[in-house]
Amino acid sequence: MTKDKAFYDQDEVLAIYLAHRQRRDNPNDALERPVFLDLAGDLRNLDIIDLGCGDAAFGREALSGGARSYLGIELAEGMVQLALENLADTSGKVERKGIEDWQAQEGQADFVVSRLALNYVEHLEPVFREVYKALRPGGRFVVTLEHPVITSHFASLESGKRSSWLVDDYFKSGARKHVWLGKEITKYHHSIEDYLSMLEEAGLRLERLRESKPQREHFHSEAEFQRRLRIPLFLFLAASKPA
């Protein structure tokens, strides 16, 4: 994918994605959002940077909840336009660039977040170093990722709703290709140990690790709730810059 033609700027991809997000009991809303908001905690008076901000709906929510500032980083032009619309009557800002191209200012943020965006980034070590640079002492970093049991091998996706999930090549980090939203895409797999090592090497201290354990109150469908109890879809890491 070229840097001027992001995945979500391909024909029909953004429209399909937005329709996907409107489905009842979609994983983003039923699984990812509740855990992320719990880890994010109180956002009042915080300067926030959102890496891969998408439509910046979180930015609008954070600012309405008392955040001091919000900066979204997003490559896809279609997503940037949605983000600007969502932030139109707020102080929030969006910069169109790839996460790999983001260069932090020293101590510019209290909270850096990246939600389901870093699986698309080949080299995470420099990104984590930039996060460390951006954070003030005691600042926090919360990242949500597709769980490594998902990204290790995508063959199980080919059968639609499956009865089992294949985990293979788990400790072989690197590129994985599969079809998502009707287009081939490259994602990058790492083990949980890899992620923790990269955070530590960047100087960030792990505070919490969570997985997307479903909670019944977030599902309309009992059948969908039971299905989501089988394997973890998401991994959540909360880290901080030592004070």
Question: What CATH number does the domain containing 46 carry?
Answer: 3.40.50.150
| Residue 39 within a domain | yes
Q: Which of 9-23, 129-143, 203-217 has the lowest mean pLDDT?
A: 9-23
Q: Give the tokens for residue 185.
A: 């895409």
| Residue 12 within a domain | yes
SS (H, E, C) the chain: CCCCCCHHHCCCHHHHHHHHHCCCCCHHHHHHHHHHHHHHCCCCCCEEEEECCCCCHHHHHHHHCCCCEEEEEECCHHHHHHHHHHCCCCCCEEEECCHHHCCCCCCCEEEEEEECCHHHCCCHHHHHHHHHHHEEEEEEEEEEEECHHHHCCCHHHHHCCCCCCCCCCCCCCEEEEEEECCEEEEEEECCHHHHHHHHHHCCCEEEEEEECCCCHHHCCCHHHHHHHCCCCCEEEEEEECCC
Q: Structural domain of residue 53, as residue ranges?
A: 7-147+189-240
d(CA 53, CA 33): 14
Tell me, what's the pLDDT at 158? Answer: 64
Q: How confident is the model at residue 8 (pLDDT cuts 50, 70, 90)?
A: confident
| Residue 87 within a domain | yes
| Residue 217 within a domain | yes
pLDDT (mean) for 109-127: 98
- The arrangement of strands across the sheet holding 47-51 comes to 93-96, 69-74, 47-51, 109-115, 135-146, 234-240, 205-211
Q: What pTM was computed for the model? A: 0.91
| Residue 34 within a domain | yes
Q: Are 238 and 39 in contact (CB under 8 A)?
A: yes
Residue showing tokens 């955070």 = 199
| Residue 157 within a domain | no
| Residue 97 within a domain | yes
- Structural domain count, the chain: 1
Which of 19 and 135 is assigned the larger pLDDT? 135
| Residue 177 within a domain | no
- Give the model confidence (pLDDT) of 59-99 as tens digits: 999 999 999 999 999 999 999 999 999 999 999 999 999 99
